[in-house]
Amino acid sequence: MANFMYTDVAGTARRRAKRITIENPAPPNDPNAMTPSPVLKFDMEDRIVMADGSDQFIDVGELTVVLDNVIMQKQYPAINTETGVIDAENMRLGADIMSMIVDALEDVFITEASS
């Protein structure tokens, strides 16, 4: 399994998302058709710490997450990528996390697009 926690130790690697794309499909024109679920795409890379302290990055593919009812109702822990501590005491619904992210991005989008 890949290591997702931050590291500076020579010879170790950390998997990270180098790009995150949110696909937010518009509702179909047909009122009887189902609206497609939004999709998150994580372009992943491994950051490898070299012996001289430099970094090397290697693309490792894409993780696609369809934001359907299963994901939106799933409970997610808070994970500290600096310490590796997983806070399973304070679980959050996928829907709450996505709402927080989308609201913040809308604020930036509207403010920047309006100026």
Question: Exposure of 7 by Cβ count < 10 A (0-12 exposed, 13-18 middle, 19+ buried)?
Answer: middle
| Dist CA 83 CA 89 (whole Å) | 16
Task: Using 70 as the pLDDT threshold, list the residues of the chain that sit under it.
Answer: none
Instruction: Tell me the CA end-to-end span of the chain in Å, nearest whole number.
Output: 45
HSE at residue 47, side-chain half, CA atoms within 13 A, is 15
pTM of the complete model: 0.85
Strand partners, 86: 79
**What is the model's pLDDT at position 67?**
96
The pLDDT of residue 27: 87
CA dist 18 and 96 (Å) reads 23
Listed residue (59, 100, 82, 91) closest to 6, CA to CA: 82
| Tokens 């010879």, residue located | 11
What local confidence, expressed as pLDDT, does residue 74 receive?
Answer: 98
